[in-house]
Amino acid sequence: MALSFNGYELHITLIDSGGDTATLSYKMDSADYTALVTDAGTIRAALQTITNAVVKGYSLVSRYVETALVLPTNAEIEKRATVVAQIAANPLKKATIQIPAPADSIFVGVPGSGENYNIVDGADADLLDYLGIWSASGGVANISDGEYLDATSPFVRGKRTTRGSSNG
């Protein structure tokens, strides 16, 4: 398996006078990132002349695809691990993180072990490493509004759910 570069995309979000948004996506032909920045400016300028909405924001994306895709066995995207995590510096605020097709290893029990099979193991090292990407201490991403997870004990609770369920 190998992920290979597959081009660039531009996503522009427009907003109207009522606060409603629409996002337009463009598969770009840009030769490199410098050209992408220029080409994105060209599209934004052309778009602004034909719409009454304004650009709320845009993103430039490098697209990668698997060139030797092999479907996994026993993985179902609709099954989720729903993890509630503690926001740093605010004991009253939590974040909900969804993990599609979770590995059995992040649950307390093994298949067939009853209710423990549906409870996320808050001490699982792999899960804690994953939550660390949003850590207030050394994380590489933020949850929202510049918020981060508590660095010392981010995990609050978690359970197995299915996509669209409201029992998270």
Residue 51 falls within a domain, yes or no? Answer: yes
Q: Which domain holds residue 103?
A: 79-162
Residue 132 falls within a domain, yes or no? Answer: yes
In this prediction, residue 168 has a pLDDT band, given cuts at 50, 70 and 90, of very low
Residue 154 falls within a domain, yes or no? Answer: yes
- The CA R_g of the chain, rounded to the nearest whole Å, is 20
Residue 167 falls within a domain, yes or no? Answer: no
Q: Is residue 139 over pLDDT 60?
A: yes
Question: Looking at 19-124, which runs of residues are DSSP E strands?
Answer: 21-28, 54-66, 79-86, 94-100
Q: Given 44, 66, 88, which residue is the final one in a domain?
A: 66
Pairing status of strand 3-15 against strand 21-28: antiparallel
The verdict on 97 and 60 lying in the same domain is: no
Q: Is residue 22 over pLDDT 50?
A: yes
- Answer whether 23's CB lies under 8 Å from 13's CB: yes
Residue 74 falls within a domain, yes or no? Answer: no
Q: Into how many domains does the chain fold?
A: 2
Q: Given 66, 93, 113, which residue is the final one in a domain?
A: 66
The verdict on 154 and 101 lying in the same domain is: yes
- Answer whether 30's CB lies under 8 Å from 41's CB: no
pLDDT > 70: percent of the chain: 96
Residue 111 falls within a domain, yes or no? Answer: yes
Residue 56 falls within a domain, yes or no? Answer: yes
The verdict on 126 and 157 lying in the same domain is: yes
At 79-135, the pLDDT tens digits run 999 999 999 999 999 999 999 999 999 999 988 889 999 999 999 999 999 999 999
> DSSP assignment, residue 116?
G
Length of the chain: 168
Residue 73 falls within a domain, yes or no? Answer: no
The verdict on 61 and 90 lying in the same domain is: no
